[in-house]
Amino acid sequence: MYILVVVDNPKYWPLNIQNVEVVQARKYITEPAFTRIGDARVFNLCRSYRYQSTGYYVSLLAAARGHKPIPDVSTIRDLQFPTIVRLASETLEEEMDRALADHKGNRFTLSIYFGRNLAKRYDRLSMELFNLFRAPLLRAEFVKEEGKWQLQGIGPIAVSEVPESHHAFIVIVASDFFRGRHRRLRPRAQAAYSMAILTNPKDEGAPSNPRALEKFIEAAEKIGIDAELIDRDAYSRLPEYDALFIRETTSVTNHTFRFARRAEAEGLVVIDDPQSILKCTNKVYLEELLTRHRIPTPKSIIVHRDNLDLLPYEIGFPLILKQPDSSYSVGVIKIDNKEQLEREAPPMLEDSELLIAQEFLPTEFDWRIGVIDGKPFYACKYYMARKHWQIVRREKQTVMEGRVQAIALRNVPDKVIDVAVKASRLIGDGLYGIDLKQIGNKLYVIEINDNPNLDAGFEDAVVKNRLYETVMKSFLRRIKAAKQLRKSR
């Protein structure tokens, strides 16, 4: 991928950064050669991004050519709207107070170079602002009023305004940014495509363990995808990649959904895509969807304040009460009697207008069928935790999980696979884990997971490396299709 730094006049460009082509803005706008470049990242460092200025057209035409401009036109417009700046100030209130707590005056200016600042104590605030206003060089102005810091304004910095003493630092952070932060342990051939794998080492319910993440990277490398682990601080870097693979617990209310939406908007191939996250993380939606399409589920009722007293008669005890966005067995309660229902349900309804109540179907294990591209590619039995009715048992700070047994697909009853695949296709063609209970000849879909566990030593115990290769081959097919579609337009 080409890296182009576009400036008003290269003669006055003071920085020497390796493997970067410095281009005059007018040339980039007018010369046909730049329209023929395929993949390129364009770092727009013009003095002004004013509407219909040269700097404005650099980013506008870069987007039209399929290049990846920084800043893009949306960011340029955001920088010019006071309302957006005020919203940013409200969003970053806690971080501003933390970073500027020791500053004595009532005004502060922060220079942000590719999301970094010379002083490490301001790095987090710099990165947060860079995530919101994705421009290479930024100057943020803060004021302190009534003991609270506020963002007063933010805008681009012309390179000519950067102190010479800062030049060496900019070269370092820009070089790191251009090549990506992930340092390779060994050199590797230039890959045709790139992928970000979003992870969080502190996520106790992370869907892939460290060894599995390594195996995904190895599988990607074999087929020409350069895969890199990123965390939530890399939000601003998403347009650098061709694909995003989310490997931390997804939720509509946390950064994973924001990452998925941004990646999709930037034209990346995304698993989990935003629509799958929206659908799978809400059990009310899933209940309505599965019922409408006649997919067998346990007897269920959508619960609200006005029908709570009907549950003993409609379902009976024991029953399972679920928060719509429950995951990893959190927000799921077994209710044994009316007194417990009256005690447990009201606090849950404080957090959500609707809950799900299901009949209790005890089984020794749950089936999990992994599906991608509408096809099954692994199967497991998840056994209940010892002396517990769920696969995960929590006691104070201790988490105990039941045994996981990988099963060859040929040994899974056809009906289990058929129902799982049918259920998954109601969501999309992404990566899903369908949980089912089997009681005699009857099957019940319990859940469709948009972010299923793919752990080394567990889900891969039978299919081995094919598990990781199947996922990466799906990404490769999708990336090629997306690029072909863009070319044809």
> What pLDDT, in 10s, does the model give residues 168-198?
998 888 888 877 643 333 334 457 899 999 9
**Do 319 and 313 touch, CB atoms closer than 8 A?**
no
Strand partners, 149: 144
Which of 40-54, 260-274, 469-483 is least confident? Answer: 40-54
Residue labelled with tokens 């999708």? 478
What Å distances lie between residue 146 and 86, 92, 100, 150, 375, CA to CA? 17, 17, 14, 10, 59
**Do 435 and 450 touch, CB atoms closer than 8 A?**
no
Q: Classify residue 66 as left (phi > 0), alpha (psi -120 to 50) or beta.
A: left
CB within 8 Å of 339: residues ≥ 6 apart: none
CB within 8 Å of 446: residues ≥ 6 apart: 297, 298, 366, 435, 436, 437
Radius of gyration of the chain (CA): 26
Instruction: Supply the pLDDT for residue 368.
Output: 97
Confidence of residue 340 (pLDDT cuts 50, 70, 90): very high
State how far the Cα of 460 lies from the Cα of 303, in Å rounded to an integer. 38
CA geometry: angle 340, 343, 348, nearest 5 deg: 110
Question: What is the pLDDT averaged over residues 416-431?
Answer: 97
Instruction: Supply the pLDDT for residue 187.
Output: 37
Which carries the bigger pLDDT value, residue 176 or residue 472? Answer: 472
Instruction: Supply the pLDDT for residue 2.
Output: 79
Instruction: Supply the pLDDT for residue 182.
Output: 37
State how far the Cα of 297 lies from the Cα of 285, in Å rounded to an integer. 13
Residue labelled with tokens 């089984």? 363
Q: pTM higher than 0.75, yes or no? A: no
Question: What is the pLDDT averaged over residues 5-17?
Answer: 85
pLDDT in tens, 38-77: 778 899 998 888 877 888 888 888 887 878 888 988 888 8
Instruction: Supply the pLDDT for residue 477.
Output: 97
Instruction: Supply the pLDDT for residue 190.
Output: 56
Specify the pairing of strand 300-303 against strand 355-359: antiparallel
Taking the CA of residue 27 as centre, how many other CA atoms within 13 Å lie in the half-sphere pointing to its CB? 12
**Do 1 and 39 touch, CB atoms closer than 8 A?**
yes
What Å distances lie between residue 253 and 36, 216, 250, 430, CA to CA? 41, 27, 9, 21
CA geometry: angle 257, 133, 156, nearest 5 deg: 170
Instruction: Supply the pLDDT for residue 96.
Output: 92
CB within 8 Å of 386: residues ≥ 6 apart: 393, 400, 402
Report which residue type is found at 174: A
Confidence of residue 327 (pLDDT cuts 50, 70, 90): low
**Torsion angle of the four alpha carbons 425, 196, 285, 287, in this order, in degrees rounded to the nearest 10:** 60
With pLDDT > 90 as the criterion, what percentage of the chain qualifies?
49
Residue labelled with tokens 């960011």? 75
Instruction: Supply the pLDDT for residue 207.
Output: 94
Question: What is the pLDDT averaged over residues 364-384?
Answer: 97
Which of 45-59, 104-118, 140-154, 294-308 is least confident? Answer: 45-59
Which of 201-215, 258-272, 320-334 is least confident? Answer: 320-334
Q: Taking the CB of residue 32, how many other CB atoms lie within 10 A of it?
A: 6
State how far the Cα of 55 lies from the Cα of 33, in Å rounded to an integer. 19
**Do 341 and 335 touch, CB atoms closer than 8 A?**
yes
